[in-house]
Amino acid sequence: MIGAWLRRGRTWLLAATLVAAGASQAVAAACRVDQIDLRGPQGAARFVVEIADDDEERARGLMFREEMARSHGMLFLFDPPRPVAFWMRNTPLPLDLIFLDASGRVLNVIADAVPFSEEHLPSDGVTRAVLEVNAGLAARYGIGPGAEARHPGFGAEADWPC
């Protein structure tokens, strides 16, 4: 009787371990370097992103790109976080710029940035990341100040951790 209970106990323990491992893999799969999730009171969205995390990549950004898939974007990461300003020089795509703090909270959104403009488009505070997506998508998905982002780039300070 005890032997049968131990065998069932081990089977149960193995099943619980597999379920926990599956849940852990699902969480890891949901939080990948090449995608970012956003959620706010009015909606949610996921974008496949290219990462710009060094000076050369950030300087080039989406310049000269004439199209970008609707569900794609570029994520600019700043370490250390700092106030930033962007412009649209040599950028033919109209874009929404979503400025995020170190916790992944949206500071501000600049909607429908004008292609080729050299006007400075600033963050409303210290910025860890800027997400550029096709113009109109921030409004379409209800992403505005206070919304949260989930991405490995926010690390331990994230309000919505990976």
Q: Encode pLDDT of 131-144 as tens digits.
A: 999 999 999 999 99
CA distance 159 to 162: 10
Please give the pLDDT value at position 10. Answer: 35
Which pLDDT belongs to residue 146? Answer: 97
With bands split at pLDDT 50, 70 and 90, how would you rate the model's confidence at 92? very high
| Mean pLDDT, residues 67-92 | 97
What is the average per-residue pLDDT within 22-47?
A: 79
What is residue 153's predicted lDDT score, i.e. its pLDDT? 96
Give the C-alpha distances (Å, rounded to integers) separating 46 from 13, 106, 141, 144.
35, 15, 10, 15
Tokens 């992403």: give the residue. 143
